[in-house]
């Protein structure tokens, strides 16, 4: 079998790491064999049974300095094979150079690019000043609570003395690389309505369906008001509050579907809510209580906050992108040294494990070196071009060597 960067990437893509039953053991064995071949220390940690985490280490010449950590998640979202042109875990390299696989962009590319970059740096005789760690964590796609959340809260993590983290970002459709300084915080919102049941033919006030549908209407209006801000160009998608319906549950089941001549006494709807770090969570809570699910309309609700919203010093979870963050110019210049350019730093529309590092006050950027690439994470036919993948390795050579050589004061 071939042993080239592309062949190694394809092998890593072939592990079926899709939820709800991600294979963690085999990709970890593979990564350990890669680490051994390159000469990196490897350690497996298991904060949750059957959800292992792999930590690789390249010791720096001054290990007392804060280290730099490169994170990626092992798991993937599911794929619907019938909707793909190649099977999602076959990792097919098409004649045009596109590598099709679930995880090609999200985020198995960076997992292997980190290793390839270190392999090349070592071959060139480079030695880091600061210790470099790579973490491969489970369960990011389902919130990271059994993965990164436990890891970053552990004694083992504290002992790494991490000063800066790079985690996954997103593809860029243009020539510039994207960098993310914050994530949005996800909330799950479930609203429930109750009301008098009645004959399907009757018109009466305060039925459960009427109450529920009124709420859906009010929430839809709010959604439109936020989307209008995006459509008018005033803000980016990730800078507003998104609220999207994800399920509706009501009706009285019958063997053929639903009973059609009864108005049900309860109904429920679920929403995915995302708050940018600038949003005031108390204001949204007030809005939910008073407008979206008011008791006066026989509504109840449940908000589940899926993760932190402020850091340990009660600051919003944001990493600064100006010179008051000493890592920012180092990172920016490393991209430029590799012949790249960064676009304006962004908030990520979705959510990653970076929030758990930011919560501990560690400066953390989201970055995946993919330019001129359609954004296909969680989509059918996710692919990454071989040339884009290989250029990404060079970008990380610059990034890893610059960050690990940074002599300045870090916090
Ligand atoms: C509840 S946190 C979920 C994290 C997940 N991350 C990637 O897609 C997301 O939905 O953004
Ligand atoms: Zn991801
Ligand atoms: Zn994802």
- 264 and 329 fall within a common domain: no
- Encode pLDDT of 226-274 as tens digits: 999 999 999 999 999 999 999 999 999 999 999 999 999 999 999 999 9
- 52 and 164 fall within a common domain: yes
pLDDT band at 409 (very low <50, low <70, confident <90, very high): confident
Is 311 a member of any domain?
no
Q: In angstroms, what is the span from residue 308 Cα to ligand 1's centroid?
A: 13
Nearest to 164 by CA among 263, 60, 265: 60
Interface predicted TM-score (ipTM): 0.98
CATH of the domain at 83: 3.40.630.10
Which of 305, 340, 359 finishes a domain? 305
Ligand 1 atom at minimal distance to the Cα of residue 352: 6
The pLDDT of residue 187 is: 98
- 269 and 384 fall within a common domain: no
- 277 and 351 fall within a common domain: no
- 26 and 116 fall within a common domain: yes
Q: What's the mean pLDDT when you consider all of the chain?
A: 97
361/355 Cα distance (integer angstroms): 10
Q: Which residues, in sequence order, are CB contacts of 247 under 8 Å at separation 6+? A: 268, 269, 270
Which of 305, 329, 364 finishes a domain? 305
Domain limits at 21? Answer: 5-179+321-405
Q: Is-catalytic flag, 140? A: yes
Omega before residue 199 within 30° of 0, cis: no
- Encode pLDDT of 120-145 as tens digits: 999 999 999 999 999 999 999 999 99
Residue 174 structure tokens = 């243009």
275/316 Cα distance (integer angstroms): 11
Q: Is the CB of 190 under 6 A from ligand 1?
A: no
Q: What is the 3-state secondary structure (H, E, C) of the chain?
A: CCCCHHHHHHHHHCCCCECCCCCCHHHHHHHHHHHHHHCCEEEEEEEECCEEEEEEEECCCCCCCCEEEEEEECCECCCCHHHCCCCCCCCEECCCCEEECCCCCCCHHHHHHHHHHHHHHHHCCCCCCCCEEEEEECCHHHCCCCCHHHHHCCHHHHHHCEEEEEECCCCCCCCCECCEEEECEEEEEEEEEECCCEECCCCCCCCHHHHHHHHHHHHHHHHHHHHHHHHCCCCCHHHCCEEEEEEEEECCEECCEECCCEECCEEEEEEEEEECCCCCHHHHHHHHHHHHCCHHHCEEEEEEECCCCECCCCCECCCCCCCCCCHHHHHHHHHHHCCCCECCCEEECCCCCHHHHHHCCCCEEECCCCCCCCCCCCCCCCEEEHHHHHHHHHHHHHHHHHHHHCCCCCC
Nearest to 271 by CA among 282, 252, 287: 287
- 222 and 337 fall within a common domain: no
- Encode pLDDT of 274-311 as tens digits: 999 989 999 999 999 999 999 999 999 999 999 999 99
Mutate to test the pocket of ligand 1, among 351, 359, 366 (most ligand atoms within 8 A of CB): 351
Nearest to 39 by CA among 9, 18, 59, 53: 59
- Encode pLDDT of 359-399 as tens digits: 999 999 999 999 999 999 999 999 999 999 999 999 999 99
pLDDT band at 1 (very low <50, low <70, confident <90, very high): confident
CATH of the domain at 298: 3.30.70.360
- 223 and 341 fall within a common domain: no
* Percent of the residues in the chain that have a pLDDT greater than 70, as a whole number: 100
Q: How many distinct structural domains can be found in the chain?
A: 2
Which of 253, 280, 305 finishes a domain? 305
- 144 and 206 fall within a common domain: no
Is 96 a member of any domain?
yes
- Tell me the backbone φ, ψ of residue 286, rounded to 5 degrees: -65, -45
- 295 and 398 fall within a common domain: no
Is 316 a member of any domain?
no
Q: Is-catalytic flag, 75? A: yes
Q: Is the CB of 308 under 6 A from ligand 1?
A: no
pLDDT value at 320 more than 90: yes
pLDDT value at 411 more than 60: no
The pLDDT of residue 408 is: 84
Ligand 1 atom at minimal distance to the Cα of residue 377: 8
- Ligand in nearest proximity to the CA of 368: 2
Ligand 1 atom at minimal distance to the Cα of residue 274: 11
- 144 and 248 fall within a common domain: no
Is 312 a member of any domain?
no
- 22 and 151 fall within a common domain: yes
- 335 and 391 fall within a common domain: yes
């Amino acid at each position: 079998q071939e042993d080239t960067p592309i062949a190694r990437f394809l092998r890593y893509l072939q592990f079926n790491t899709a939820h709800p039953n991600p294979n963690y053991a085999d990709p970890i064995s593979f990564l350990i064999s890669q680490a051994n071949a390159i000469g990196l220390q490897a350690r497996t940690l298991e904060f949750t049974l059957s959800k292992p985490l792999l930590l690789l280490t390249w010791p720096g010449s001054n290990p007392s300095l804060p280290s730099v950590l490169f994170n990626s998640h092992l798991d993937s979202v599911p794929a619907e094979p019938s909707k793909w042109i190649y099977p999602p875990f076959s990792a097919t390299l098409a004649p045009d150079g596109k590598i099709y696989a679930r995880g090609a962009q999200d985020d198995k590319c960076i997992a292997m690019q980190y290793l390839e970059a270190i392999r090349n740096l070592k071959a060139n005789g480079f030695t880091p000043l600061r210790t470099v760690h790579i973490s491969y964590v489970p369960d990011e796609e389902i919130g990271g609570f059994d993965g990164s959340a436990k890891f970053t809260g552990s004694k083992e993590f504290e002992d790494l003395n991490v000063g800066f983290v790079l985690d996954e970002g997103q593809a860029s459709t243009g020539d510039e690389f994207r960098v993310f300084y914050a994530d949005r915080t996800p909330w799950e919102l479930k609203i429930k309505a109750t009301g008098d049941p009645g004959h399907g033919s009757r018109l009466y006030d305060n039925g459960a369906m009427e109450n529920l549908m009124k709420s859906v209407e009010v929430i839809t209006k709010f959604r439109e008001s936020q989307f209008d801000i995006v459509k008018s160009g005033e803000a980016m998608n990730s800078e507003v509050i998104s609220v999207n319906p994800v399920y509706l549950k009501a009706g009285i089941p019958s063997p053929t579907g639903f009973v059609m001549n009864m108005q049900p006494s309860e109904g429920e709807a679920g929403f995915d809510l995302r708050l940018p770090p600038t949003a005031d969570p108390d204001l949204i809570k007030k809005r939910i209580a008073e407008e979206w699910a008011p008791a006066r309309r026989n509504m109840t609700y449940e908000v589940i906050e899926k993760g932190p919203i402020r850091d340990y010093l009660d600051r919003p979870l944001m990493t600064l992108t100006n010179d008051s963050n000493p890592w920012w110019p180092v990172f920016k210049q490393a991209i430029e040294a590799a012949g790249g350019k960064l676009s304006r730093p962004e908030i990520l529309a979705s959510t990653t494990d970076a929030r758990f590092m930011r919560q501990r006050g560690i400066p953390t950027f989201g970055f995946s070196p993919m330019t001129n690439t359609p954004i296909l994470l969680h989509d059918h036919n996710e692919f990454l071009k071989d040339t884009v993948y290989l250029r990404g390795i060079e970008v990380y050579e610059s990034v890893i060597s610059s960050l690990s050589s940074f002599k300045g004061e870090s916090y």
